[in-house]
Amino acid sequence: MIRRAGLDGKTKKLVGEIFARIAESEAALHGVAVDKVAFHEVGAWDSIADIVGAAAALAWLSPAGITSTPLVLGSGTIRTAHGLMPVPAPATVAILRGLPVLAEGTGELTTPTGAAILATVVQSFGSPPPMRICAQGFGAGTREQADRPNVLRVLLGETTGQALPESASEVVLVAANIDDMNPQLADPLMVALFAAGCLDVWMTPIQMKKGRPAIEVSALCPIDILPSVEAAFFANSTTIGVRRQVMQRTVLERALAKVGTSYGQVSVKVAGRAGEILGVTPEFEDCRKLALRAKVPVRQVVAEANVAAWALLPKHKRSS
């Protein structure tokens, strides 16, 4: 049916890829060859319309990239051609293997058809990158959900700069109180901790027992590099012990853009949430290098870079 349909080449190719993903998953589940797979629910007219419609829309929009939040699976049972099955359906699980999902909600919230479309077209799963939102679209289902609207939302936007890797939501705070170390060793300790992979390092003056002046050295790092960070502490300071605390954090999505000034281009860190740009900050080192080259005060370059960066924000953010 797809081969005979009057679809453009790009749409037909994408439809073929989506159905191929479903066929491969079904073949693996049933232990048969791909050409022996029988499509049941995903071969119904509404599933064909979903897949062809999504492929045609994406072919027409021709986006530079596609992202999605982790897929919500739902719970309970669903009646299929093979009888009553638990949610998520086996085909959905097979199609989404290796992808991030959320086991919440009631009913079947991600079908094999929806799973196949997203698994085929989405390049990354997580929060939207910082971008200027251009449009949004909604698709509503007929079933009423008690805990959430039965709605699929799509955002279309122009990304601002190059998206940076998503930050870990869980980190470890490693700290030590040191009162017997030569202060000259503080900077090499900080350098070693950053070299070990710490996200941030800071030192706080404190006063310990018997009135001794000391410093508290704190380092924030991803959980997987904790051994390297502890090794850096022990090798580069006089401490005989460190404290550890696992911490949860919320971090805005970040992207790196460039803005033009009369002195040259300056990199700008763009921060956003759910696709909306919330703030922009010029990179100071870029401003400093341009100021040295132009023999002008650094703050002069920073001021011009701020004006250019400010223009990246939506108008309502600039006016506020």
CATH number of the structural domain spanning residue 244 = 3.30.70.1380
What is the identity of the amino acid at 228? S
The verdict on residue 236 lying in a domain is yes
The verdict on residue 160 lying in a domain is no
pLDDT band at 236 (very low <50, low <70, confident <90, very high): very high
Q: What is the 3-state secondary structure (H, E, C) of 38-67?
A: CCCHHHCHHHHHHHHHHHHHHHHHCCCCCE
Percent of the chain clearing pLDDT 70 (strictly above): 92
Helix or strand holding residue 276 (H, E): strand 276-282
Considering the domain architecture, whether residues 19 and 96 belong to the same structural domain is answered as yes
Considering the domain architecture, whether residues 284 and 220 belong to the same structural domain is answered as no
Q: Give dist(CA 303, CA 287) in Å, integer.
A: 9
Average pLDDT over residues 117-142: 86
Considering the domain architecture, whether residues 236 and 281 belong to the same structural domain is answered as no
Most confident of the ranges 8-17, 26-35, 147-156, 216-225: 216-225
Q: Give dist(CA 260, CA 300) in Å, integer.
A: 14
Average pLDDT over residues 257-285: 88
Average pLDDT over residues 148-166: 81
Q: What is the DSSP letter of 146?
A: S
**Phi, then psi, of 247 in degrees rounded to 5:** -125, 140
Here the CATH number for the domain that contains residue 294 is 3.10.20
Token couple for 147: 């805990």
Report how many domains make up the chain: 3
> Higher-confidence residue: 85 or 109?
109
Q: Which of 94, 126, 158 is the last residue of a domain?
A: 126
DSSP-based three-state secondary structure for 7: coil
The verdict on residue 107 lying in a domain is yes
Give me the pLDDT at residue 294, please: 94
Evaluate whether 20 touches 29 at the Cβ level (below 8 Å): no
39-45 CB contacts, 8 Å cutoff, 24+ apart: 40/80, 40/81, 40/82, 41/80, 41/81, 41/111, 41/112, 41/113, 42/91, 42/112, 42/113, 42/116
Q: Give dist(CA 204, CA 215) in Å, integer.
A: 5
Give me the pLDDT at residue 314, please: 66
- Helix axes of 226-236 and 186-195: crossing angle, nearest 10 degrees: 160
DSSP-based three-state secondary structure for 300: helix
Considering the domain architecture, whether residues 80 and 180 belong to the same structural domain is answered as no
Q: Which of 222, 248, 274 is the last residue of a domain?
A: 248
The verdict on residue 77 lying in a domain is yes
- Helix axes of 284-294 and 298-310: crossing angle, nearest 10 degrees: 130
Which residue segment(s) compose the domain that 285 sits in?
A: 253-319
Evaluate whether 102 touches 72 at the Cβ level (below 8 Å): yes
Percent of the chain clearing pLDDT 90 (strictly above): 47
Q: Give dist(CA 86, CA 68) in Å, integer.
A: 24
Any residues with CB less than 8 A from the CB of 222 and at least 6 apart, and which? 168, 171, 172, 197, 199
Considering the domain architecture, whether residues 22 and 110 belong to the same structural domain is answered as yes
Considering the domain architecture, whether residues 188 and 220 belong to the same structural domain is answered as yes
Considering the domain architecture, whether residues 244 and 315 belong to the same structural domain is answered as no
Give me the pLDDT at residue 176, please: 97
**Gyration radius of the chain over CA positions:** 27
The verdict on residue 174 lying in a domain is yes
The verdict on residue 151 lying in a domain is no
Closest CA to 29 of 98, 89, 72, 71: 89
The verdict on residue 152 lying in a domain is no
Token couple for 117: 């479309």
The verdict on residue 262 lying in a domain is yes
Considering the domain architecture, whether residues 296 and 240 belong to the same structural domain is answered as no
Give me the pLDDT at residue 196, please: 95
Closest CA to 219 of 238, 232, 209: 232
Considering the domain architecture, whether residues 206 and 288 belong to the same structural domain is answered as no
Give me the pLDDT at residue 251, please: 85
Per-residue pLDDT tens digits for 267-277: 999 888 877 78
- Mean of the per-residue pLDDT values for the chain? 87
Interstrand relation of 101-102 and 243-248 (parallel, antiparallel or unpaired): unpaired
Beta bridge partners of residue 137, listed in sequence order:
154
Residue 44 above 90 pLDDT?
Answer: no
